[in-house]
Chains A and B, each alone.
Chain A
Amino acid sequence: MEFRYEIEGGNFSRAGHASSAVKKILKQLNVDNRVIKRVVVALYEGEVNVVAHADKGSMLVDIDEQRIKIRIEDTGPGIPDIDLAMQAGFSTASAAVREMGFGAGMGLPNMKKNTDQMRVTSEVGKGTQVEMITWFSQ
């Protein structure tokens, strides 16, 4: 099953909509609650990253019996140094975004921690792609 959600850059009032929709689907599919809890963290952080940093993006979710595959891609500034971006506490978020309690440099680390596999690719000036896979049973 494939689902696709558009994410609007800069629009914080809609941040979380896509994640919430995917969570509902996983619940309906009776996926193990512990798995849902982890996946939801990764989904939300990925969605917020697009809202906070990119012009626009999309979340593509592919679910089969064994796993959920999430691909989040955006058109935006890209990440010059992915290793640095993966470090907990490193952030390029604006002061306004930080004031809302985002931009603490925990997004990408949270995503990595809560998925089984994660791959980030990016091109500066063009955009970023994040692919995450989580297996339903170990």
Chain B
Amino acid sequence: MKVRELIEKMGLRLFSGELCLDKDISGGYVSDLLSDVMGNAAEGQVWITLQNHKNIMAVASLKELAAVILVKGQAPDTDTMAHSIEEQVPILGTDQEAFETAGMLYQLLNQ
């Protein structure tokens, strides 16, 4: 599944990175610890987190993640969005919590 389809199927907000929505999603990773994501997430995964500061984009880009989903209505600051565009990793958002978001993503990727 591509990021574009995920946005549509999950009704996600798109904050930034609309030019890079054709990446294939290989899976998901849920964590708010940056070192955990750094050490354990894999290329092409969608990262679900409530962290919304600029450093998430450094991690997402170094790990070549497909997208980041901010949960609980979190929005990225302008710096984070600028970095997202630069690094070509889209930032998406939802009002739902990480549990529901992960559950939905899991279901979509495994059907």
Q: Is the interface of A mostly helix, strand, loop or mixed?
A: helix
B1-41: contact bitstring with A at CB < 8 Å (1 yes, 0 no)? 00000000000000000000000000000001111101100
The size bracket of the interface on A is 20 to 34
Q: Smallest CB-CB separation from A17: which chain B residue?
A: B58
Report which of B32, B35, B58, B61 forms a contact with A110, defined as CB distance below 8 A. Answer: B35
Closest residue of chain B to A19 (Cβ to Cβ) is B62
Determine how close the nearest CB of chain A comes to the CB of B30; give it in whole angstroms: 13
B74 within 8 Å of A (CB atoms): no
- Count of chain B residues with a beta carbon within 8 Å of a chain A beta carbon: 20
The reply on A13 being an interface residue by CB < 8 A is yes
**Nearest chain-B residue to A108 (Cβ)?**
B35
Q: Of A39-47, A59-67, A73-81, which stretch is located at the interface?
A: A39-47
Name B residues whose Cβ lies closer than 8 Å to a Cβ of A.
32-36, 38-39, 43, 49, 51, 53-56, 58-59, 61-63, 79
